[in-house]
Amino acid sequence: MRDQETRTINYLDLEEISRMGNLANAGAGLKKMYIASVGALICVVLAFIPVVNILAAVGALVFMVMSMIGLHQTGNDIEGCRTAFTLTIVNIIISVVGAFFHSGIMHIIVVIAGYLISAMVTYLVCNSVGEVMNRIGAMEAARKGETAWKINAVCYVLLTVIAVAQSLPVFGFLTSLIGSLIVLVLSVIASVFYMLFLGQSSHALSA
């Protein structure tokens, strides 16, 4: 009886998910995001190598565009990713505006706004795709997504503290130095979880 109930629940979940659209299409979008995240991480490593760092900068831009294309494609089927794509565009606009403020309160406000939106984008992707993963039984992928956005949230909180602390003498320098090292380590861990999340999610939806 329990097995029959489980099969019924799974059937209903899959039927509900099918109303979202073509899941294979969402899987293709997530695969682009996965490839882009791997490529972006490689570019970060290459950025520390002289001469090659120029190619790394170009590559990072290419992978950023690829990730946005994948996010838009996924957003055609998953509402949370559609919202995340819109916020990504808003964040780019804020970054352009922020280029005109190099210091002062406006600079801090623009920087914090960018951190907040970036955190929301990561949460929306991980949460919305994670819900789909839970419904189709890919619990491991969903857990990795949850871990990724939580670690990212901690990073952005620390970055916000650093942005404010930089305006303070001495104490601000020490806070920025220690905080930056912590953020660096956490960011690498979050990136690994996020990559695994995207890879497993794309595989689950394309299977």
Per-residue pLDDT of the chain (207 residues; tens, 9 = 90+): 444 434 433 444 545 544 444 577 899 999 999 999 999 999 988 988 888 889 999 999 999 999 999 999 999 989 999 999 999 999 999 999 888 877 778 888 888 999 999 999 999 999 999 999 999 889 999 999 999 999 999 999 998 888 888 777 766 677 778 888 999 899 999 999 999 999 999 999 876
Q: How many Cα neighbours within 13 Å face the side chain of 196? A: 18
Q: pTM of this prediction?
A: 0.83
pLDDT, residue 13, reads: 52
Maximum Cα interatomic distance, the chain, rounded to a whole number of Å: 68
- pLDDT tens, 104-135? 788 888 889 999 999 999 999 999 999 999 99
pLDDT, residue 50, reads: 85
pLDDT, residue 12, reads: 40
pLDDT, residue 22, reads: 57
Long-range pairs for 172-181: beta carbons < 8 A, 24 or more residues apart: none
How long, in residues, is the chain? 207
pLDDT, residue 176, reads: 79
